[in-house]
Copies of this chain bind each other. A is one copy, B any other.
Amino acid sequence: MSTRTDAPTRREQILKEAARLFAERGFHGVGVDEIGAAVGISGPGLYRHFPGKDAMLAELLVGISGQLLTGAKQRLKEADGVAPGVVLDSLIEGHIDFALDDRPLITLHDRELDRLRDSDRKLVRQLQRQYVELWVGIVREVYPDLGEPAARSAVHSVFGLLNSTPHLGRAGSLPGRGATAELLHRMARGALAAAGA
C-alpha cells in the first residue's frame, strides 16, 4: 500500500495549492503571487521549483491522467478471470475514490486542458484516451449489445456523472462520504445498464 506519512515537500505543497486555486478561479484567474502566498513564500520564489506557471498546470494534468490510468490498469490486472461485472465495479469504485478525494484535480481535469503546450496536451489526451478505451472494453464485455460508439458515449456520460462531486454541497450537507460513494456507484451502474438495452 505504501501510504505516505512523511511531510510533504515544498514542491508538493505548491502543486496542491495551485490545484486548489486553479480549480477555484481558473488558470488565468490566479497569479503566481497568490500561489506563492498560499505556501508562505512570495511570488518569484516559485521559480526555484518550477520553470514557470504553465509547468505547474502541466504537471498537475499529466499527473491526474496518469494516476487514473495506472490505477485502472492495476485494478484490471488484479482482477484477472473474475466476472466482468465485478471488474466494472472496481473501475467505478476507483474513479469515485478519486473524484471524492481530489475534487480540485477532477475539476481541472476537464476544464483547463486547453491551456497546455501542444506536446503536454497531446500527452494528456493520449492518457485520457487510453483510460476511456479501457472502460469501453469492460463495459462492452458486460453489455455485449452495446455498439462501440454508443459505449464510448455512455462512458463519457458516466464520467460526467461521477465527476459531478464538486457540485455536491461544498459544505457538509451531503450525507457522509460512504453514502455518497454508494449512491454514485449505484447510479453509474444504473445508467450503464439502461444504456445497454
- Most B-side CB within 10 Å, residue of A159, A163, A194: A194
CB-CB < 8 A to A183: which residues of B? 150, 153-154, 157, 195
Of A22-30, A32-40, A57-65, the stretch lying at the interface with chain B is A22-30
Among A7-15, A73-81, A185-193, the stretch in contact with B: A185-193
On chain B, the residues within 8 Å of A150 by CB distance are 175, 179, 183
Chain A 156-197 interface 0/1 with B at a Cβ cutoff of 8 Å (1 = within) = 111111111001110001110001100110111111111101
Residues in B with CB closer than 8 Å to A175 are 147, 149-150, 153
The answer to whether the Cβ of A101 comes within 8 Å of any Cβ in the partner chain is: no
Q: Are B174 and A164 touching (Cβ within 8 A)?
A: no
Q: In the complex, are the beta carbons of A114 and B161 less than 8 A apart? A: no
Q: Report the Cα distance A149→B174, complex, angstroms.
A: 6
A174–B194 CB distance below 8 A: no
Alpha-carbon gap, A191 to B163, bound state (A): 14
**A145, CB-defined interface residue at 8 Å:** no
In whole angstroms, what is the CA distance A29 to B180 when docked?
35
The CA-CA distance from A101 to B35 in the complex, in Å, is 38
Task: Give the nearest-CB partner of A190 in chain B.
Answer: B194
Determine which residue in A152, A156, A162, A187 has the highest number of CB atoms from chain B within 10 A of its CB, and name it.
A187
- Which 6 interchain pairs have the tightest Cβ spacing? A190-B194, A160-B164, A28-B28, A191-B191, A187-B191, A161-B161
9 contacts between A and B (CB under 8 A): A26-B26, A26-B27, A153-B180, A157-B187, A159-B164, A160-B161, A160-B167, A190-B193, A191-B194
Residues of A within 8 A of B (CB): 24-29, 110-112, 114-115, 147, 149-150, 152-154, 156-164, 167-169, 173-175, 179-180, 183-184, 186-195, 197
